[in-house]
Structure 1
């Protein structure tokens, strides 16, 4: 069974510095341990290295590599739950939560429209949602940056909106399927941006095999970008896949290149990291 090589470029979340720094993983080895979320025998033991590799026109494709199931919702540090955040961050967090959680019935109908399923979702379905939303998205600049439309409103409008609206719709659809996301706002000297990330587990083997599935499903993808979240000494890392839209640097696959800038991260339970 042939598995394509690809680059894993990492954004490391630095809670002390309040930003994301780029880095590369020198050596990543997928072991024989098979996580329960993945199909047995999907991938043999392989070594993945951060080396320049052109994935365009990959010949043989891996068959039946689709991960089954959904990574469990990550654990958030209890000591953060009582933190007091600046008012502007709290307001933004509340607006994201409200917009993502509104119109759940309509969002569920749209998930069925896209996937033809009401349960049993996996990464193939998450990719189907990514493809559908990006294929139909029409960008519209929103002058009122502090107001967010509910996910169902944007769906009914024909997928018209800006990066905030996109992050909300994508998060709402994936949440309805049982996935977990977080919204990242990033700012540089020129402008700001918002994008969603998809949680792909706290087990490195699981995360890498999901990333390998993405690279096989999108053979034109030269790089798969994701981030790692460090919870503390002795605790498992969390892995998050960039789910930004195709308009970001022209990518049309999950794991496109990250927007560069100082970041603030908003979680579904109200936790904020910056």
Structure 2
């Protein structure tokens, strides 16, 4: 991603408020812990241009026939995505268009990869989303891209063997989850040092249902320190959406869905062209 100083930020008023929460695995049902949209990186985390390509250290990533057949695995809700008639700054419009084109590129190949990972063509649930997360992170090889304005299509990243930077990761993860019928969004965040992009998975607008998914994540990845999510409060009292962080960050030395958030000023890109900042 480009350095934060390369962008000019324009302050607009949106009728949507964003907060973030964290589920402490030791106290899952005690309530929401609200804080800023982005959370501090774990101590020792380095900028992505300094990261080395290494195999993801995953907890609970081994799939078994018993786990696949287990009843009571939470379903992942979906919603009808909003379209926006707003006119955004040029750099936001361009980035939104590039994300949408890259995520939608090679849909047939993306569908083949979903089947390769899950062995299913329909009926996906949070277990399948975790299987995709594990597979992508286990195979991911980081490569710094100095050309921040050029995005590879999702199918290209799959065929390359999952090589790329945070943009490519966000695109391919979003494409795989979209093919499964899930809602996703891509967040770009910038601080004084560098920028980052990461995907989020929509887990519903019902708190109890969302917590059921978060409970599942906590149980599946027992070495994870916390499970992080964000809240999107809709205008006119239309409710609250819950979004699960699907970044590669993880916590406590392990990669898992619901990892710690990158800290920085954020811009959020939705599949139908809506942009929030």
Query: Can you give the 5+ residue segments of structure 2 that lack an aligned partner in the other structure?
Result: 1-11, 34-58, 60-66
Q: Deviations over 1:79-101 (max 9, x none)?
A: xx211000000000000000000
- Which stretch shifts more, 168-177 or 15-24? 15-24
Structure 2 equivalent of residue 177 of structure 1:
180
Q: Would you identify which runs of 4 or more consecutive aligned residues in structure 1 move more than 3 Å?
A: 14-25, 62-65, 246-251
Asked if 1:157 is matched to 2:160, the reply is yes
Q: Distance in 2 between matches of 1:256 and 1:109?
A: 27
- Secondary structure class of the residue paired with 2:235: coil
Residues 165 and 253 of structure 1, relative CA distance in 2, 3 Å threshold: same
CA RMSD of aligned residues (A): 3.0
- Secondary structure class of the residue paired with 1:48: coil
Aligned residues: 231
Structure 2 equivalent of residue 215 of structure 1:
218
* TM-score under structure 2 length normalisation: 0.76
Higher relative contact order (CA 8 A, sep 6+): 2
Asked if 1:229 is matched to 2:240, the reply is no
* Counterparts of residues 180-191 of structure 1 (less than 5 Å): 180-191=183-194
Q: Distance in 2 between matches of 1:23 and 1:154?
A: 31
* TM-score under structure 1 length normalisation: 0.77
Contact residue 19 and residue 262 of structure 1 kept, 8 A? no
Contact residue 19 and residue 261 of structure 1 kept, 8 A? no
Residues 224 and 75 of structure 1, relative CA distance in 2, 3 Å threshold: same
Structure 1 equivalent of residue 63 of structure 2:
none
Contact residue 18 and residue 232 of structure 2 kept, 8 A? no
Q: How far off its partner does 1:221 sit?
A: 1.4
Q: Distance in 1 between matches of 2:127 and 2:216?
A: 9
Contact residue 170 and residue 186 of structure 2 kept, 8 A? yes
Q: How far off its partner does 1:138 sit?
A: 0.2
Q: Which has the higher helix share?
A: 2
